[in-house]
Every structure is written in C-alpha cells, then in structure tokens.
C-alpha cells in the first residue's frame, strides 16, 4: 500500500514506539491521527507532524468510537491502524509476607493492553470494511505485543498475559477480517528504548542492551517504525507475530 494521502491512526502515538511510527507514517505522506492519554505531548507531536491529536482511553468503547469518527471527519476513512498504547505494571503472583497479586492491578493491565487493543481493532475495522478497496486490500492493522508474551519474567504475570493475548488474537482476527481485505500483523519487540526506559540510570540501560546478542544495545523506536513500514508494504504479511528483538531470549530475571 502506498501511504501517500492515506489516513492512519496510531494509539499511544504521543511517545516512544507510537511517536516514531507516527513520524514514519507522516514522512511517507500519510495523514496521521494520534490517540493518547497524554494531551500535552500528543498535541505537540501532532502539530509537528501536521496531524490530528485526540485524547483517547482505548478501554472506553464510546471514547474510541468518537475518536475514530473525528479522525475520519478530518482525514477520511483510516486504512492503517497501529496499536502502541499500553502500560507496564509489575507484581509477583505472591509478594512479600505472602500477599497475593492485587487483582485490580492485573485487571487494569489486561484491560489496557489486551481489551484496549481489541476494542480499537474492532471499531476501526468496522468502519474500514465499508470503504472501497485500494488494489487488492482495504487496509492494515499492526499490533504491539512483546517478547514477554513468550518469556515473561518474574513479576510480569499480568503484562505477559496481556501481551500473550495480543499474540493469540492475531491469527483469528486476521481470519475474521480476511473477507474485507484487512490484514492483521503483530510485532513483539524486545528491549527497546522508550520513555519508561529513559527513566533508568545509564548503566542499567547499557546492562540491558548488552543482554541482546546482536546488535548488543537497546532497540530504537525508529527500528520498530521501520518494521511497521515493511508490514504495510508487503501484502503477504498477514496473521503473523514478528519478533523484533536482536535474538534475545529473556531470562527469568
């Protein structure tokens, strides 16, 4: 798909992987709408890209629907959706003094990372299914999982479950949407530089990067964006989860 003039939506587009993806899409001529909870950063990044920002809670069906309507009114029907919105909360199944994992925390991670992803997919695809195809396809959905879906570490039960759910829905959703010519692909990044990572001391960042076989460093957000671009450009990529991790396999800790 040629991105020139194509409307695209990026959730979590105000920072990190989402911001880099939005920048890549805009550089290719796409008309980009950013969904994020961070209004200040989202507005600033959208202005930089000549795009639209909408404050969106991806777990709220009404909010997502209204945001997609606003994006469509501004840029036309969106043909590309990249789901980068997500949160990380760590807690052991049984913590200190035999305290069980807080269930509300587990539920929140699942709600944002998994249910929020599916909510956005379903509402986006419902609108796109009514549009005319461009060539042999109508559009592309790219989701963000994590290598934690396969090798969750200590304290990552909630996060790994949420990202494992994203991996699990990729194929059936791709099969569901095949009749409309909408592809669905998931990226499972390894250890990438993100705003959360930026808060760690430099020596910790370097230590994490050295765990990656090659290249032995943190992944760059623009490398994630490059993978998104490759997925959009290759019509045979569908129903697959792609690890983008420098060959790392995460240890228990």
| Phi-psi region at 12: left, alpha or beta (left = phi > 0; alpha = psi -120 to 50) | left
State both tokens at 199.
């808060």
Catalytic residue among 35, 53, 106, 159: 159
Enclosing H/E stretch for 10: strand 7-11
Residues in the chain: 253
Gap between the Cα atoms of 140 and 118, Å rounded: 14
Three-state DSSP at 211 gives: coil
DSSP 62-117: HHHHHHHHHHHHHH-SEEEEEE-------B-SB-GGGPBPPHHHHHHHHIIIIIHH
Instruction: Let me know if 224 is a catalytic residue.
Output: no
Half-sphere exposure (Cβ direction) of 253: Cα atoms closer than 13 Å: 1
Closest CA to 171 of 182, 159, 184, 161: 184
From CA 120, how far away is CA 124, in angstroms rounded? 6
* Residues labelled as active-site residues: 159
């Amino acid at each position: 798909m040629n991105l020139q003039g194509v409307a695209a939506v990026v959730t979590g587009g105000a920072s990190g992987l989402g911001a880099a993806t939005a920048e890549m899409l805009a550089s290719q001529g796409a008309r980009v709408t950013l969904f994020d909870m961070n209004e200040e950063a989202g507005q600033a990044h959208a202005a930089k890209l000549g795009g639209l920002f909408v404050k969106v809670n991806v777990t709220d069906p009404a909010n997502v629907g209204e945001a997609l309507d606003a994006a469509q009114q501004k840029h036309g029907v969106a043909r590309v959706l990249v789901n980068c919105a997500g949160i990380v909360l760590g807690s052991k199944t049984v913590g200190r003094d035999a305290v069980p994992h807080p269930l509300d925390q587990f539920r929140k991670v699942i709600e944002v990372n998994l249910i929020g992803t599916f909510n956005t997919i379903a509402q986006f695809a419902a609108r796109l299914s009514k549009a005319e195809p461009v060539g042999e396809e109508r559009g592309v959905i790219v989701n963000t999982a994590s290598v934690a879906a396969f090798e969750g570490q200590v304290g990552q039960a909630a996060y790994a479950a949420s990202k494992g759910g994203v991996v699990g829905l990729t194929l059936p959703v791709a099969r569901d949407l095949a009749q409309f010519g909408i592809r669905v692909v998931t990226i499972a990044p390894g250890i990438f530089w993100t705003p959360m990572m930026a808060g760690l001391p430099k020596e910790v960042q370097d230590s994490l990067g050295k765990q990656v076989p090659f290249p032995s460093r943190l992944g760059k957000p623009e490398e994630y964006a490059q993978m998104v671009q490759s997925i959009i450009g290759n019509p045979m990529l569908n129903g697959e989860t792609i690890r983008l991790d420098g060959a790392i396999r995460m240890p228990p800790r």
